[in-house]
Amino acid sequence: MVGALLVASMAGGAAANVFLPARLAAQGSNVVTAAQVNIVDDAGQLRAVLSGSDERGQTSLTFYGADGTARGVLGMDVDGAPALRLSDPSGAVKLAATVSAGDALLTVGDDRARSAVFGTLGGTPVVGLSHAGQARMQLELGTDGQPNMSLQGEPTVNLLGAPGQRAISLAVDASGAPFMSLYDLSGAPRVLLGAVQGTAVLNLGDGTRPRLVLGVTDGGEGSLGFYDAEGTLVRLVGAEPAR
């Protein structure tokens, strides 16, 4: 069987060489050209397949276990993005790696159950934990536009709700000041707790702006400020609060 396979592959390659561009034909007579190469063990059982275009449309090398289950796939999508998938005996993918649009992602575990993701998204390093395909925790380096983040590169930990919506954020800004933010079910910030320039600050907001601000300086002076829906201070008890 192995001998017949090799003869058939060489014959197919010889016939295809007639239509090859000059660049490929110049490689010489030792080149074998085929759309698919099947690799079998001594018993004739299929153990690997090298395919120019598999059932997913990928150029791939697939490895099979003794039971015929695909256990590993190394391939490249039609858009040129490489991918690696390693599976358990049931066929569930337990490790997957992809590189696309300049970002690399490594997923460890079953992405249908519990998994961890390591990689970059938009150039930002990210570590995430997911359950049932839903992200529940994310560690990243902050980017411009994040609440309370003044510069890129600041660490942020996000705890996410069941729909993947951010619920709690822990962050440290460029000056080293720590912050904790709490969000409602719509993702609007409602509570901000921080320590800024020696002052402990607690902001309670309506989802768009602070409505009540409590502050305590390092000298022990406390203040309480009330704000209207436009963000204007309407009442102040104690010293000027930190904003």
- 167 within some domain: no
- In tens, the pLDDT along 16-41 reads 444 444 554 556 667 888 999 999 99
What pLDDT is stored for residue 30 in this prediction?
Answer: 79
- In tens, the pLDDT along 92-129 reads 899 999 998 889 999 999 878 899 999 998 888 999 99
- 151 within some domain: no
The answer to whether residue 241 scores a pLDDT higher than 60 is no
How many domains would you assign to the chain?
Answer: 1
Residue 40's domain comprises 34-100
| pTM as predicted | 0.69
- 63 within some domain: yes
SS3 readout for the chain? CHHHHHHHHHHHHHHHHCCCCHHHHCCCCCCCCCCEEEEECCCCCEEEEEECCCCCCCEEEEEECCCCCEEEEEEECCCCCEEEEEECCCCCEEEEEEEECCEEEEEEECCCCEEEEEEEECCEEEEEEEECCEEEEEEEECCCCCCCCCCCCCEEEEEECCCCCEEEEEEECCCCCEEEEEECCCCCEEEEEEEECCEEEEEEECCCCEEEEEEECCCCCEEEEEECCCCCEEEEEECCCCC
CATH of the domain at 88: 3.90.930.1
- 137 within some domain: no
Mean pLDDT of 4-19: 39
- 125 within some domain: no
What pLDDT is stored for residue 151 in this prediction?
Answer: 41
- 59 within some domain: yes
- 189 within some domain: no
The answer to whether residue 55 scores a pLDDT higher than 80 is yes
- 52 within some domain: yes
Query: How does residue 168 score in pLDDT terms, banded at 50, 70 and 90?
Result: very high
